[in-house]
Structures are given as C-alpha cells and as structure tokens.
Amino acid sequence: MSDSRMVVTHCPYCALQCGTALRRENGRVTVRPTDFPVNHGGLCQKGWTAPALLDTPDRLLDPLVRGRNGELVPVDWDTALDTVAGRLHHIRTEDGPDALGVFGGGGLTNEKAYLLGKFARLALGTSQIDYNGRFCMSSAAAAGAAALGVDRGLPFPVTDLGQADVIMLAGANPAETMPPLMRHLDRAELIVIDPRRTRTAERAVLHLQPAPGTDLALALGLLHIAVVDGWCDNDYIHRRTRGFDAAWRRAMTWWPERVEQVTGVPVIAQREAVRMLGAAQRPYVLTGRGAEQHSKGVDTVAGFINLALALGLPGRPHRGYGCLTGQGNGQGGREHGQKADQLPGYRLITDPDARAHVAQVWGVLPGVLPGAGRSAYELLDALGTATGPRALLVFGSNPAVSAPHAGNVTNRLAALDLLVVADFVPSETARMAHVVLPVTQWAEEEGTMTNLEGRVLRRRRLLTPPPRVRSDLEVLRELATRLGEPAHRYPTAPRDVFEELRRASCGGKADYSGISYERLDAGEVLHWPCPASNQPHPGTPRLFLDRFAHPDGRARFAEVDHREPAETPDADFPLYATTGRVLAQYQSGAQTRRVAELNAVEPEPFVEMHPDTAERAGLRDGAMARVSSARQSTVARVRIVQTMRVDTVFLPFHFPGAGRANLVTNPALDPLSRMPEFKVCAVRIEPYGDP
C-alpha cells in the first residue's frame, strides 16, 4: 500500500518564504514550488534541496548532557530538563534573574518567538534576552520606524515590484540571497549600489561601487543632486513630510565632486542614478544588509529613505521604499517580544501602556516584567563576566559562527556555567553546550511565519518528528513548570500560542488580532496590521497610502551626516574587508553545509580579491590566504576576480572553525540599533601554508 501525504507550506530558509508543496511518498520527501505570488513556481537551489535537511545523518535525536569526561552523552528528557532547570534555579538564587540569558533567532516561528519572550520575562524573570535578528536588519527597523512610524520590510506586496521601471538596490544582492525575487525585477532597470560586482550588479544598468563604509556619503550626495537638479517632489515634501530643511542642511555640503572623492563613485554615475529615479514613472528604492550592517547603519538607511522621500516615493501607488529582510521569519521574529527592548505587538518594553497591556494578557502585574536588556552582541560579550549572565539558553541560532568578533564570542560562551542549545543539528554552538535539546524542524511542525511583505503564512507539518525529539514550545513549558510557573501559561499547541499572540499584539503597531489559523487555512491573504473588528479586517498589503504611522500622519526626514567606519585601513591593515552571503549557503551554514548538493557548490571559505591586490600580497588564485584584522585571523582560499575594488576583499560568513569570516569582523555597534559593523573592517592578507 502506498504511503502518501502532501502539505502546502513554505521554504525553511529566507524571508521571501517561497511557497512549496511537500510530498511524502513511500518514505521519501520531495518538494515542488507552488504558484505563491512571491515565487510564482520558482525556487532557488536552497529551496529545491531543503528536503535533504529532514534526514541529515547527524540529526540530533536525543537530549545530550555533558558528562564527567567532557563528552556529550545521551540522556532521557527528564534528566536533561531537570538538569537545566536545577542549574538555572541555582544560578538565579545566587545571582538574580539577570544572571540568566536567552538568545533567540529570526528563523523561529511567530509562536516560538512569542513564547520565548514570555518564558524569559516570566519563567526566568530576566531582562537578558535578544536574538540574532539584531545582526540582520535592526538598522532598517530603527530607521524605518523613525521615518515612517512603523517598520515593515516591504510596505507593499512583492508583486508591486513587477510593475517598476527603475529600482535602486542599496546594499542588496537578491540574485544570490533570494533568486526568485529577481523575476519581479525583470521589467525594471536596476541601479545597484555595492562595493562588489555581485550577480545582482551584473544585471544592473548602473552599478555604483562605493568604498566600504561610504554608502551614507553617497546617499547624501544623491539627495544633493536630486535637490539641485530639480528632481524633488516639492508638493509631496510639503504635504506629507517633516524635517526636509534639516536634512538638506546636511546634504547641501555633499556636492558630487566631494562625494566622488570620498566614495569613489564618479560624478557622472551619481547624476545618472538620480536622473533614472527622478524620471521614472514607477521608481522604487530598496535597501539590504549592505546599507545596514555598519556602526552608522541606521543613519545610512535613513539617508536612502531621505532620498526616497525627497523623490516622493513612500506611501504612493506604483512607487515606494522598502527593505529586503533576510532571515525566514526576520519580520515576525522581531515583532513578538524576543528583542531586548520590545514586547509583543512591536511595543516598547519601556512604554507603561505596553507593559500594562501585555501584563494583563499574561495574567501578571506590570511590575513583574523586567526592563530592557542588552543587545545581542553586548549580551554575548558579557557572558561569564562579573556583571553578565552565567547561563545562556540558545534557540534557533548559531552565534559561535554568526556573531562578530567570533573568537571573543566563543571564549565568552566557553566561560558560561551553563550553556543550553535547542537545535535539530549539532551546530558549532551546540557542540560547546553543557546541555543540548533536540527539537523539531520546519516540516515537522505547525505554526506561522511573517515574510518580508508583512504577510502572515502558515507553516504546515508533513512528518511526525523522530520519537525523542520535542517542539521548542514543549521544551519551554517543561522548563517553565520546573521553575515554578503554572503550565497553563505555556501552551504547547501552536494554534493556542497564536491565539494568545493575537491578544498580546492587539492595538500594537504589528497588530495580528484579526488574523486566525482558520482565515489563513481558508487561503486568505493577510498582511499586518490586521486588527480584530466586527467585519473581518482585510489586512493591510499597502501601508502609508493615506498617512504615515506618526501621530500627525507625516513621514520624517532624518538629519544625518557621513562619518567614517569604526575602523579604516592603515599601515598594518591596509585593506577593507567586507562580508556577505553566497547563493548556495544560508546564514551560519548550520543547515546548508549539511546539504550535499549545496556544499558541493560552495564547500569552503574563500576570499575574493582583485588581481592587483593578490599580486601585491604574493597570492595566486586557489592558494590559501590568511586574512588578519586587529582582532584575529581567518583562513580562506583565494578567489581572484576582475570586478572587485583593489582596496577591498570579500569574505562569505557561512563557514565554521578557522575559516570563520567573523573572526576578523568588528563588533563596533550602531548607537541606536546596536547593529555590529559586519560590512567593513581593516585587514591584511598574506599567504598561508604551502604555496
């Protein structure tokens, strides 16, 4: 008898959340793309090969506890959970609740992200929770919220981009990071801003290659040209915005020749970029990690939003500004309370009304809720210190590879009295843990995700998890009850968690209260905000058409100015290094490095450089190079390309061990978003090993 089952769900990886149909037939799982609007029958190679994750040979199948000989040994669940709860209780008794920390992930479902935030604040009582999304798009979130009143990656459906005639992509490389998006960009002329000639840049009509860390100077210069050359929409600026004069006072000193001197982008290319956007009928400006991952990431994104506002793009049909979110639930993951400074519904944890609302939903007094905690890198950097957490629980993240200054982070993780990692594979962080908890993965669980358009999607279960694997929700309840919490506060059915999340988000900026599993399962297309109302609310696919989300309905220009990166090249470290992603790997690579087809394409770390750069360092294509910064060194294979700037090398960050790109990256933080400066640090390169 044939054993066959099929579910309609979504890819486990990036924020596009391509629609897929997963089929299990006679024990084998296959995937095919669905006609979901963002991917219209397309998938990238990561999506096509995702079923390989389901039977990865080193799948975690039992809880593991580190034994006396230092090895992780399998134990039953009660032993593992009792061990964790006992040690958490002991540390909290000795040093208080902030001696316990939690590190979440932008790939967790909305339900997991929500319950994790609640668990941290109530069961542990700690303020020390943050997540890896801080490393992803926290700068765009802060800049978008300040300018537009609320941050939603794309405030319009992806399909709107299919009608665009000109799109500026500032620091985004969707041809590698989310290839199916490119089919929506086919009709548009692309202006790409990136120090590398990426696959996206190869498709561009105009490629601007600024020196790393100078994107804000370029954005200021583009605004300068827009004003001086008469491309601004003065009526829109007057009716729908505030703060133009202050923004212009900064931009007026960034005349094109000065911008060329600082960025290296020729005046003629600057003017052409503005002309293309200004003359277009349906122009868009989109930003990505390249604009964000700087110690001035918020100001850099704000600089591009200023340009978009001056041209009259946001909040109007057939034009707009948006940010291309990275991680699978990068949008939803930051809305439901796993961020150090936020409560569910995108509420500030310092806002008394927000605290009162969430406390009421959780059945506690507002005073019970802790205040804001440390941001992701600051939390990791404090681990095991006199004032930092002594214990850390990690869900859905691999900071030993993905965090900046990874050597320091590894040392801090090693200094903990208790490191607990919940994952489905033995990631580099899990291998350091005192306790490892094996949890379900995408095709084994139900839940919701929110994609880069703010559209809420159903993740559906195809497979029964392996027998001794539990869901993260079950783990949280088991730990919470062992720490004295009532079980009813921690539902384990995703639908029940979502029902509570709806109430917690009600009235917040990311309002999910009108969304239900029933509506999603009936095929309704629902973007937040979608408040509960007498008539089912249709959701909000396009934001800001009538007004921006500030009390007066107007968008805000930001008064920003260029400043140098935290680190610039000098005699010891004469080159810039910038980091990023490649098509065949995803994030820290914990998943994609386990997929044979993907690993065959990109099996090892590499360092991309111009032939002149290589020659000066005595390096040839294919040789091994040591790349060193003021922090540490990494080792990678040389890849020579004609298209790289001679003053810059590029490192992908997906690889572990001595090849971790983040061994060299600079943890200098943006003052507002606390985003580390992944995109620029100073390095030197030299031959490594035998020539």
Contact call for residue 598 and ligand SF4 (CB under 6 A):
no
Least distance (Å) from ligand SF4 to the CB of residue 328?
Answer: 7
Is 40 or 637 the residue whose CB approaches ligand SF4 more closely? 40
CA distance 76 to 397: 24
Nearest to 638 by CA among 653, 630, 649: 649
**CA–CA distances in Å: residue 681 to residues 77, 243, 589:** 44, 33, 22
The CA-to-CA distance between both ends of the chain, in Å, stands at 59
Token pair for 673: 């978003």
DSSP label at residue 439: B
Within 495-514, the residues that bind ligand SF4 by CB under 6 A are none
Single out the segment in contact with ligand SF4 by CB under 6 A; choices: 13-21, 216-224, 467-475, 587-595: 13-21
What is the b/e burial string over 352-366, where b = at least 16 CB atoms within 10 angstroms of the residue's CB? Answer: eebbebbbebbeeee
Nearest to 64 by CA among 532, 468, 523: 468
Count of CB atoms within 10 A of residue 60's CB? 25
Contact call for residue 667 and ligand SF4 (CB under 6 A):
no
The alpha carbon dihedral of 92, 62, 64, 447 has a sign of negative
Within 33-72, the residues that bind ligand SF4 by CB under 6 A are 39, 43-44, 46-47
Single out the segment in contact with ligand SF4 by CB under 6 A; choices: 174-182, 315-323, 416-424, 462-470: 174-182
11, 191, 309, 543: which one contacts ligand SF4 (CB under 6 A)? 11
CA distance 249 to 52: 55
Nearest to 301 by CA among 310, 290, 312, 311: 290
Least distance (Å) from ligand SF4 to the CB of residue 65?
Answer: 34
Least distance (Å) from ligand SF4 to the CB of residue 452?
Answer: 10
Is 592 or 633 the residue whose CB approaches ligand SF4 more closely? 592
**Coil, strand, or helix at residue 47?**
helix
9, 16, 211, 441: which one contacts ligand SF4 (CB under 6 A)? 16
Contact call for residue 396 and ligand SF4 (CB under 6 A):
no
Q: What residue ranges in 11-91 does DSSP mark as E strands?
A: 19-25, 28-33, 64-66, 72-74
Contact call for residue 459 and ligand SF4 (CB under 6 A):
no
Least distance (Å) from ligand SF4 to the CB of residue 19?
Answer: 9
CA distance 508 to 554: 19
Burial class (CB in 10 A: 0-12, 13-18, 19+), 317: exposed
155, 180, 322, 676: which one contacts ligand SF4 (CB under 6 A)? 180
Least distance (Å) from ligand SF4 to the CB of residue 326?
Answer: 10
Contact call for residue 184 and ligand SF4 (CB under 6 A):
no
9, 18, 198, 602: which one contacts ligand SF4 (CB under 6 A)? 18
Least distance (Å) from ligand SF4 to the CB of residue 16?
Answer: 4
Single out the segment in contact with ligand SF4 by CB under 6 A; choices: 12-20, 54-62, 154-162, 208-216: 12-20
101, 149, 179, 278: which one contacts ligand SF4 (CB under 6 A)? 179
Single out the segment in contact with ligand SF4 by CB under 6 A; choices: 8-16, 246-254, 275-283, 349-357: 8-16
Q: Which residues pair with 6 in a beta bridge?
A: 23
Is 180 or 344 the residue whose CB approaches ligand SF4 more closely? 180
Is 583 or 668 the residue whose CB approaches ligand SF4 more closely? 583
CA distance 579 to 488: 45
Chain-centre distance of CA 101, in angstroms? Answer: 20
- Count interface residues toward ligand SF4 (CB under 6 A): 14
**Cβ atoms of 337 and 252 closer than 8 Å:** no
CA distance 339 to 330: 12
Pairing of strands 633-640, 681-687: unpaired
Least distance (Å) from ligand SF4 to the CB of residue 519?
Answer: 23
Single out the segment in contact with ligand SF4 by CB under 6 A; choices: 16-24, 416-424, 640-648, 679-687: 16-24
Least distance (Å) from ligand SF4 to the CB of residue 177?
Answer: 8
Is 106 or 404 the residue whose CB approaches ligand SF4 more closely? 106
Single out the segment in contact with ligand SF4 by CB under 6 A; choices: 9-17, 346-354, 437-445, 557-565: 9-17
Burial class (CB in 10 A: 0-12, 13-18, 19+), 76: exposed
In the complex, which residues of this chain contact ligand SF4 (CB under 6 A)?
Answer: 11, 13-14, 16-18, 39, 43-44, 46-47, 178-180
